[in-house]
Every structure is written in C-alpha cells, then in structure tokens.
Amino acid sequence: MTMISIQDFKRSLLVSLWFVFLSFPIMVIQVNPTERTVVWRWSNMLYVAVASLLLSLLFRVWLLRQERRQAQRQPSCPSRSSTLPVLLRQRRYRYPLVAAGAAMILTFPLIFSSYQANIMTTALMYIVLGLGLNIVVGLAGLLDLGYVAFYAVGAYSYALLNLHFDLGFWAALPVGGLLAALFGLLLGFPVLRLRGDYLAIVTLGFGEIIRLILENWNAFSQGPSGISNIPRPGFFGLEMSLDQAMTGMYYLMLVLLAGTIFVVRRLQDSRLGRAWVALREDETACQAMGIDKARTKLVAFALGAFWAGLMGVIFAAKTTFVNPASFAFMESAIILSIVVLGGMGSITGVIFGALILILLPEYLRPLSEYRMLAFGAILVAMMIFKPEGLIATSRRVYRFRK
C-alpha cells in the first residue's frame, strides 16, 4: 500500500484550508435580503474542509502510484502517444458506435424538446468557434484574447445589412464571414512582431475597442439598445413556427460543423498546417527554414476570424437580437477555455470541450446556488488530471536505451 509522507499531508492540509477560504463566502454565509439577516452555516465549512482534504490525499496517492509505475516501466522502442478511447481504435466497435452516434445526432431535435435542441444548437455554435480559435491558438500558437470581436463583426454585419439594405440571411452569411476575415487581417498586420503576453494584451484591447465602438456609436450600431427583429433564415420560402425554425437552425449548424471539421482537418495535414505547427514550436527556426512568418500568421488570423464571422451571423439569426453586451470579454474566455480544456490543436478535443463547457452549466441548474461551484470544481479536477487537455494531439515519442 502506498504511504503518504508527513510533508505530503501538510501540503494537502494547506490545500484544504485554501479551498475553505475560497468557498467561505458561498458555502458559509447566506444573506436573506428580505429579512436583512445573515445565516452562518459553519457545518458547510467542515464538509468542504474534510472533502477537499480527502480528495487531495487521494490525488497524492494516485500521483505516487503513477511515479512508481513509470519507474518500473522499461523504455520501449519508438511509440506513438494517443489518448483516443480503446473502443474507437478497434474496428468491430468503431462503426457501430459511429452509426449510433450519427443516428442520435440526426434525430436529436425530433426526440427531445425544443429547449434541448436550442441548447444543443448553441453548443454546436461554440464547437465551430472553438475550431476557428484552435487554428490561431492551437496550431499557430498565437494567443488571441479578442476573438469575440470577429464574432461581433459577423453578427452586426447581418443585423446592419438587413436593417439598411434588407439583405437576407443566406446572402449575409458569406459577407459576415469575409468581413470578419478582413478584420482578422487588419488585426494581424500590427501584431506581426509580437508574441506571448504582448500579443495577448493587444488582441484583448482590439476586442474591447470593437465592443466600445458598437456601444457608443449610436448612429451606426443603435448603441446599447441593439438591433432587434432580425429575421431567421428561410428554408425554401416555407412559413415555419418557432420550434420548426429552431429545428432548421440545428440542422444548418450540423452542416456547417461538418464542413468546418472537414476544412480544418485538411488544413492540419496541409503544408500550411505544418507551417503553423512549426511557427508555434519555434518562430526563429521556422523562419530559418524559409517559411514566410508574416504570411503564415496573417492566414491564421484571417481563417480563424472567418469562422467566427459565420457564427456571428448564425447568432444574430438565432436570437433575432444583438447588442454589444453579448460580445463581452467573457465570451472570448469561454472559447479559449474550450480550446485549452479540449486539447490544443485537437479537433476531437475541441468538440468535447465545447460540449462540456456549454452543456454542463445548463444541466447543473438543479444544484441551484452551488451550480457554478460544482462546475468550477469539475474544471479544476479535469485540468489537474489532464493538464494537456481531454484529448491531446498525438505526437511521436522516441525513447532510447542507454
């Protein structure tokens, strides 16, 4: 049996005290605004302390066992690391599971309520947004904290074109994507020489500039009031109810998601995709090998912004209302969290990351006031046990015996 040292126990005790400190305002203090009273729930503090201490000790036991297993394991020949489930790597299980998953996806809005279909449509939108940001952050290694700006450009493109020129959804969809790609190029030119934290600060400022312009330029964007009565997409000129329109949006998102996955997958295996990965690993070596660093960065910004622009048009059509408050920094943080949680550069990881980050808060609503606490604890646990993401990109690893 694996024993824990006194030093490890002290560290776990400090972790427990830190969790008690962080959760104290939520778990212990309960304010009743109507009666103007404060209830002190000291028993909750004890529960948090004991639970966090036990979890920390279990985690340290697990780490010790992993270290012993790695020490006992002999170095092997060249191998390929992979985190795909074992069942999907076996042909006899792969095709039935894929067929069952496809049938479930296609019949989802027919089986479940319109509310569930609406949530799933939102999750599909964030998958596409995550795949677009994955090009910039996961493949090219360019930390972009203002990605929501391109999302806003797409949404306002459709809203304003429809308001002033009565342009329909299908005509505005490519226009919104191309305008967002143009803004991606405009952002890319000034930041070609920047990297790391400096690049993150500039892109964060760009996102805030776009939001403030939309919020204060009343003559152009209607200001904080936003633009309402944006028409939903029409399908062959049919008159549809709200539920039918939501179902149509769901299937439209499936088509766009399939196209996005196909294009991003082809880009990863292309010469341009390999140039992005080389740029991410070492810019100096990348440039020394003859790769045009400036053009590679600009293409990454433009392509990532293009998908955000498309989803902005979808968002405006889905909600029929846009205003600057919908494009705050928190949206960029959520999309970046999807990429990091799923696995940098991994398409499958981004899909699972988006489903977790978008669907989990909705399905944790029965926990009421503890919903976000449980959500945060789940994310922390995932990043502790899988720091490289849920599904990391496969890399060849070579080990040599002495």
- Is 147 within the bounds of a domain? yes
Domain identity same for 64 and 132: no
Domain assignment of residue 13, yes or no: yes
Helix (H) / strand (E) element for 397: namely strand 396-397
- The helix/strand/coil state of 107 is helix
Residue 327 domain boundaries: 88-386
- Are 37 and 142 members of one domain? no
CA distances from 143 to 17, 194, 322, 347, 367 (A): 34, 10, 27, 18, 34
SS3 assignment, position 323: coil
Q: Are 349 and 390 in contact (CB under 8 A)?
A: yes
Does 323 fall in a domain? yes
**147 lies in the same domain as 45:** no
Amino acid letter at 298? L
Residue 268 in any domain: the answer is yes
Q: Is residue 207 located within the same domain as residue 347? A: yes
- Same structural domain for residues 264 and 216? yes
Judge if 63 and 198 occupy the same domain.
no
Per-residue pLDDT of the chain (402 residues), as tens digits, is: 456 778 888 888 888 887 777 777 777 777 777 777 878 888 888 888 888 888 888 888 877 887 777 777 654 444 444 444 555 555 666 667 777 777 888 888 888 888 888 899 999 999 999 999 999 998 888 888 889 999 999 999 999 999 888 888 899 999 999 999 999 998 888 888 877 788 888 888 888 898 999 998 888 888 888 898 898 887 776 777 778 888 888 999 999 999 999 999 999 888 888 888 888 888 888 888 888 888 888 999 999 999 999 999 999 999 989 999 889 888 888 898 888 888 888 888 899 888 888 888 777 776 666 666 767 777 777 777 777 777 766 655 556 666
In a domain, 39, yes or no: yes
Asked if residue 113 and residue 23 are part of one domain, the reply reads: no
Closest Cα to residue 248, out of 121, 129, 124? 121
Identify whether residues 205 and 309 lie together within a single domain.
yes
Verify that 45 and 186 share a domain, yes or no: no
Do 233 and 353 fall within a single domain? yes
Q: Is residue 399 situated within a structural domain? A: no
Query: In terms of domains, do 252 and 376 share one?
Result: yes
Task: For residues 67 and 103, state if they share a domain.
Answer: no
Could you tell me which of 212, 242, 236, 233 has the C-alpha nearest to residue 224? 212
- Residue 303 is assigned to a structural domain of this protein: yes
Distance CA 338, CA 355 (A): 9
Classify residue 145 by its DSSP letter: S
Q: How many domains does the chain have?
A: 2
Within a domain: 123: yes
